[in-house]
Structure 1
Amino acid sequence: MPLVVVRLQPLVSLGLSSLGLSSGLLLLGGTHQAVVAAREPDIRVLLQESEQISLRADADRPFRLTGPDLGRIDLTRLQIELSSGGLSLVMEEAGAPADRPMRRRLPTSAQLRLETDDPRGLWLGKRRYGGSLRLLVHKGRIAVVNHLGIEDYLPSVVGSEMPQEWPMAALQAQAVAARTYALRQRGRAGLFDVQATVASQVYRGLESQTPRTLEAVQSTRSLVLVHAGQLINAVFHSSSGGATEASGEVWRSQLPYLVSVPDHDQQSPVHRWETRFDADQLRRAFRETGGVERLEVLESSTTGRVRALRVRGPVGVLRISGSELRQRLGLKSTMVEFNWLAAGEGEGEPSPSTPPSQLSSRWVGFLVDPDGDGISEQLSPPPPLPQQLRLRRRPQPVLEVRGRGYGHGVGMSQWGARALAEQGAEFRQILQHYYQGVEIRPFRPSYDPAVARLPQLEPAWRG
């Protein structure tokens, strides 16, 4: 049966108001049908959690504050502090003298909403954000959650995760991957969908939005990555070191689209790297064993990443995963080799590796759930160093670590995407190289597998 497109009348009259849509299309194909969203989905981004929040308008355009016992107030500045079991507000009203602020006290159950019509956004600390902000107390701190449309959120993510001067095809690939990840996370937590940090994907507000990142988002509007009718877990990383990793080699399950593929990240500044650790640094990193005398790799992936190893020290033996080794030593990746140098061999002081400032890897320092649930756990700090070992001072060899790549190595390599784009690949080719067997389709809100397979290439929502 061919695809039939039927224009709907107002949805309330058709009994579809429960879907939250004001207008739309009904798509009929075979036995399947679905409603296409008439407006883009919203995303809730956790920006900050602290005991004190400072917000202000940009120049002379006030913002609106709405809350219990406040009604609606136009403000130019707002300071909120959590103290003595309540919220203390200091507000500068629009048109009122700045030296005569209004003060209010609210219970911790109060929820506040801030909105502005200013395209320059609202200042939170040193960054500006569009959309609206919601403030509420969460786990003993004031949480600031940014509510905005997914297409307004993405230009900042692309500019935060990838240099905006990179080829457009690479930026477009980043936009589709970021959109897929964010939409897959919607509704999974009560307060927010994603965080603004590497715990999800980096979002720095309007400062990271540029004409080129806007173009990357607008030219891929509503497109997402789908496998077997479901949004994929679109993880990405900075640089793989020559070959991406299969998800099952790093995490607990092997996803069919996250398999190892050749990478093209040779231009990456972290394609090859090395770092050194002296005895004191190793004792601090491995307090349970009193330092490191020997490292034995027990399991490696097919690409050479360390999966498990045994650490032998003066006072004990410890088995850890490659991810834990990476966190303890601050390594860029787990694709590493070890070499012992005599004390004093090699110039310069040993120092732990530091991540490159140009790119951010989504999962630095965390163990990740490859099924898309975000952080599965954070590693606990090791126990205190035994007193007798603090008193020992004797020359010991230096551990040299030579590695490749930066990040977990699963999914799209950002430096590889850049190289493919420079070779003439367009964003669909880049994405289908790193995410094997996926389809690139407009997003559908029902998550119905049949909907994801519908052969419609127009955006799922309009601007």
Structure 2
Amino acid sequence: MRSCLRSGVSLLAALLLGAGGASALEVRVLVASAPQLTVRVPPSPASVTGLPGAVSAGALPSVTLPTQAWTVGVTGTGAAAQLTLNGQATGSGTLYLPPGAGRTVEIAGRTYRGGVHLRAEKGAVQGVNVVDIEDYLRGVVPAEMPASWPAAALQAQAVIARTYVAARVNPAAPYDTCATQSCQVYAGTQAEKPATDAAIAATRAQVVAFGSKAASTYFSSDSGGFTASSAEVWGTEVPYLTARPDPFSAGGPRARWRLEVPLPQVQAVAAQYGVKVGTLSSVTVTRLSASGRPAEILLVGASGASRLGGAKAGGFIRSLGASGTRVTLAGLNPLVIEGSGAGHGVGLSQYGALGLARAGYDHLHVLGFYYPGTVLGTLSAPAAQLPASLVPALSPALSPALASPVLASGPALPVPDPLTVPLARAGTRVE
């Protein structure tokens, strides 16, 4: 029993240490991190390149592993940290199973296309899915936008998702992006839908570009009728992320909302933002941004007054539980927050994209409206794909250094005229 287990671990380690052919453009997504991870690999022929005394590259044997689970752990600390497979040391702090044609891999209970890079990091095992960018999008677009929405909206979401991750490819980092809302949601194969697959295929390699680089394609659920500028939300001015009226978002489920916050909660949130004025007696907006969002909030208490400005004003509103920051404030106990929209409001509004699509605009007009001054770019892969750091030194395989994706700029994106939107359509509730 022990002999069979040892052979199985050695064989998996050899496969993980080997290098394989890269696909068109691969991205690395951190999908799990824990003291132990379970990895399952379905049956798939693979070349063994890491076994002791392996034959020459021209005559590598091929084996097929049965579907089974391996528990990947970590032992040691710092530079001495190494991964374990089913409790047995591998002698390396990083293991790699390359993507293969049609390959899927289950990491911590979720199935992904492509391969997996496992690495020891601060006492934990990081599972990084290495996947073709188009396959990656198949697990992103339906996780970020309902697959039942019109094709133009789905295609716009596909383009900005592709642009977002292309801009984050960083050969010097251990991974390019994460799988949560902190980056963009990536749910693997279980999220895939025919409609979103079609939208991804229809826009293959398309990205939003500005100045020969991938644009910062921020998006939120609903602009509340007026997009926010990057400067007012994050303090950084970006030419194409400006504040402007957005009639296309009218009618979303969060177009109008109301929230009542008890005074003790307001007091606690204020303290989190460094406000030390004693018991609050009033909370008022004293200055608005160009998009109508609070740019300064005055908090008056028994022992003084304090102001929250810029990004802190919006952060304070969100910390109170508001779904968006285009709001008015009234009262105190409770503090009544009435608002419109959901999310930060910068860049594309998803409900606005839905409104544009229902008004008959294609995805290029959607992108042109929310990222004015940008152009349509085409993404292509460099010859080199996987960074050498993905392969431990003991592996006989060679991998070229990862280069950034190549972007070719194209025509300017068209901008729809909001005045052409029928009023009835603009005010219709959309789901």
Q: TM class by shorter-chain length?
A: 0.7 to 0.9
Matched ranges for 1:404-419 at <5 A = 404-419=340-355
Query: Is residue 296 from structure 1 mapped to residue 288 from structure 2 by the alignment?
Result: no
Count of residue correspondences: 350
SS of the residue 1:166 aligns to:
coil
Matched ranges for 1:16-415 at <5 A = 40-57=24-41, 61=43, 74=65, 76-82=68-74, 85=77, 89=84, 91=86, 103-106=87-90, 109-114=92-97, 119=102, 121-187=104-170, 190-263=173-246, 264-287=248-271, 288-289=275-276, 290=278, 292-314=280-302, 317-320=305-308, 321-340=312-331, 397-415=333-351
- Output the TM-score relative to the length of structure 1: 0.68
- Output the TM-score relative to the length of structure 2: 0.73
In structure 2, the partner of 1:426 is: 362
Q: Which amino acid aligns with 1:319?
A: R
Q: Assess, with a 3 A threshold, how the Cα gap between structure 1 residues 450 and 223 changes in structure 2: closer, same or farther.
A: closer
Q: Once the 2 structures are TM-superposed, how far is the Cα of residue 202 of structure 1 from its aligned partner?
A: 0.9
Q: Measure the CA separation in 2 of the matches of 1:210 and 1:120.
A: 18
SS of the residue 1:443 aligns to:
strand
Q: Assess, with a 3 A threshold, how the Cα gap between structure 1 residues 81 and 63 changes in structure 2: closer, same or farther.
A: farther
Q: Which amino acid aligns with 2:156?
A: A
CA contact (8 A) 1:57 1:63 kept: no
Q: Measure the CA separation in 1 of the matches of 2:106 and 2:349.
A: 33
In structure 2, the partner of 1:376 is: none
Q: Once the 2 structures are TM-superposed, how far is the Cα of residue 52 of structure 1 from its aligned partner?
A: 1.9
Q: Measure the CA separation in 1 of the matches of 2:48 and 2:95.
A: 6
Q: After superposition, give the CA deviation of every residue in 1:394-449 in whole Å (9 maximum; x if it has no partner).
A: xxx21111111111111100010011101111101111011102111312568899
Q: Measure the CA separation in 2 of the matches of 1:435 and 1:139.
A: 40
> Which has the larger share of helix?
2
CA contact (8 A) 1:87 1:106 kept: yes
Q: Once the 2 structures are TM-superposed, how far is the Cα of residue 306 of structure 1 from its aligned partner?
A: 1.3
Q: Once the 2 structures are TM-superposed, how far is the Cα of residue 180 of structure 1 from its aligned partner?
A: 0.9
Q: Assess, with a 3 A threshold, how the Cα gap between structure 1 residues 330 and 56 changes in structure 2: closer, same or farther.
A: same
Q: Measure the CA separation in 1 of the matches of 2:302 and 2:47.
A: 61
Runs of 5+ consecutive residues of structure 1 not aligned to the other structure: 1-21, 23-37, 92-102, 342-396, 456-463
Q: Which amino acid aligns with 2:132?
A: G
Q: Once the 2 structures are TM-superposed, how far is the Cα of residue 65 of structure 1 from its aligned partner?
A: 11
Identity of matched residues, %: 31
CA contact (8 A) 1:337 1:401 kept: yes
In structure 2, the partner of 1:345 is: none
